[in-house]
Amino acid sequence: MSQRTHNHVGHHRLTPGTQEHAAATSAWNRLTVHRPAAVFAPADVHDVAHAVRWAVREELGVAVMATGHGVAGVGEHGVLINTASLRSVCIDAARRTATVGAGAHWSDVLPACAPHGLVGICGSSSQVGVVGFTQGGGFGWLSRSLGFASSSVRGAELVTASGRVRTLRRDRDDDLDLLWGVAGGAGNFGVVTSLTLDLHPIRGVYAGSLYYPVDRASEVIATYASWSASLPADAMSALALSGLPDAPSVPEPFRGRRFVVARGCFPDLAAGEDHVHELRRQLGDPDIDTWTKRAATDLDGVSLDPTSPLPFVQRGESLTDITDEVTSTLQEHVIPDLGTSLVMCEMRQLGGAMDTSPRGPHPMADTSARFSINCIGVAPTPDAVAAVRTTQERIFTSLRLHLTGDTYLNFLDGDATPERVRAAYTPQDWERLVALKNEHDPHNVLRFNRNIPPHAPSSIPSIHQNGAPS
C-alpha cells in the first residue's frame, strides 16, 4: 500500500478581500463568478460538517468546489465550501483501489497508480478533480474499455445536508442505495470528502491524434466515420474540428491554425497500431502526428486540453451518428467560425463498456447516440459570449434531427436547467434520484450543482429521440 498526502493550512471561514478568499472563489471557467455569503476552506471532514451546519443555521444553500470546474455561480444566498485542501491519495494495490480526497486532481492520483500498473477511469485532462468528474458520470479515453467513472465507486465519506458524517461502502447492503446516488448524482446528496474507486490493470496504450488541414474536412470526416465504426469495442476515438488562437499560450505547431483531428486510444497496442496505420493509409500523412505508445496514466497529450483557466462557453449534446447530413452541417456551421467564436467542436465515440457498465445514475445510461458532441468557444467579453452562444444555437438547431436529447452532466455549463439535468438519466433513475433527494436533502441545501430538486415532478418533459419533448 502506498500513500501520498498533501497537507494545507486553511480550515477556517475565509475573510473577504484576502488572497485566500480570492483564490477559493476563483472558478476554472472565468465566466463563473462566485459572491457567496461565506467561504470555508476545510482541512478535514469535521470542518466540512461545521460549514454545512453553519449554512443550515443561516438558512443558506451549499456549493462545493475543489478545482473550480463545473460549479454554478454562488451568490449571497449560498455558502461555498472549497475542498481543495482535501488532497489525500491512498493506493491499495492488492485491492486495486484508490481512496482520494475531495480536492485530489487526477494528476495526483495517476502517478501514484503508475508504479502498480493500475489506472483509474479519468477524463481527457488530469487537471480535473477526481470527485467532481466521477459524480458527473465521467468518461474518457479508457471508457469504451472500462465504462463510466461513476460505475467504479466502491465507497465514500460524505457530510449529509444535515451536517452528519457518513461512511458508505459497497459491501454493506444498507449503504447501497445512497452510494448509488452519490456515485453519479452530481453532488446532490452530501458533500463528498473522499471516494474509494476501483483501479484497473492497464499499463500501456496506443493513443494520439492525426491533425489534417481543415480544408480536407469533408474527406477526413467521411473516412473517420467509417473507420470508427470498424474499431474494437474497447477502443475509443474522437473527431475534432479545432481552431486555436494565435496566442503565446498555444504550442507553436498549433498556434493560429485550423485542423480536423482524428483522435483515439487503444488498450491493445498491436490492434491500435494496425487500425491507425489503416487510417493513415487512407488519408495520407497528416500535418502533425502524435500517435505513439503511452502509459495509460499519461493521456493528457491526446487532447491537449488547456492547462490554465479560461473564460469559455460550452454546449454538449448527444449525436445519433456522423452521417452525410451531419458532415454538411459541420462544414456549413462549424468550420467558418473556427478560430473566431469557436475553438473546438468534438465528437467522442460512445458504446463499448459504457453500454454494459453496471447500471448506475450515470449519463447516457440508455442512449441510442453513437457520439457525444461538445462545442466550445473562448469568450473574454460579453459580446464574445453572445457570439459563441449564437454559433452554438445555429449548430445545434441544424443538427436537431440527429440529436437524441440525452445530456452528459460534465458537459453542462450555464445550461444546467432541471430539464437538461433530467435528460442525463433514464426516467427510472431520475425517479430514484428524486426519492433519494427527498430523503437526504428535502430542503435542497445542496443546490448549487447540476441540481436534482426534491419533490421534482415525474412529469417534467422527458427528452426523447430528435430532442423533442414528450
E-assigned strand segments in 163-291: 165-169, 191-198, 204-213, 236-243, 258-266, 288-289
Mean pLDDT, the chain, whole residue set:
91
Domains with residue ranges and CATH for the chain = 2-82 (3.30.43.10), 89-198 (3.30.465.10), 204-411 (3.40.462.20)
Query: What pLDDT, in 10s, does the model give residues 103-146?
Result: 999 999 999 999 999 999 999 999 999 999 999 999 999 999 99
What's the average model confidence in pLDDT over 94-103?
98
Number of H helices, E strands in the chain: 14, 17
- In whole angstroms, what is the distance from residue 404 CA to residue 127 CA? 30
Asked if residue 253 lies in contact with residue 288, where contact means CB atoms within 8 angstroms, the answer is: yes
pLDDT of residue 21: 94
pLDDT > 50? residue 462: no
Residue 9 confidence class, pLDDT cut points 50, 70, 90: very low
- In whole angstroms, what is the distance from residue 462 CA to residue 448 CA? 22
pLDDT > 80? residue 461: no
What's the average model confidence in pLDDT over 151-177?
95
Q: How far apart are the first and last CA of the chain?
A: 51
pTM: 0.91
What's the average model confidence in pLDDT over 427-444?
94
pLDDT of residue 246: 81
Residue 6 confidence class, pLDDT cut points 50, 70, 90: very low
- In whole angstroms, what is the distance from residue 470 CA to residue 461 CA? 6
- In whole angstroms, what is the distance from residue 38 CA to residue 81 CA? 9
Identify the bridge partners of residue 63 per DSSP, sorted by sequence position: 80
Query: What pLDDT, in 10s, does the model give residues 335-375?
Result: 999 999 999 999 999 999 998 877 667 656 678 899 999 99
pLDDT > 80? residue 70: no
What's the average model confidence in pLDDT over 450-464?
62
pLDDT of residue 364: 65
pLDDT of residue 359: 62
CA angle 323, 326, 330 (to 5 degrees): 140
Asked if residue 123 lies in contact with residue 133, where contact means CB atoms within 8 angstroms, the answer is: yes
Residue 10 confidence class, pLDDT cut points 50, 70, 90: very low
What's the average model confidence in pLDDT over 215-244?
97
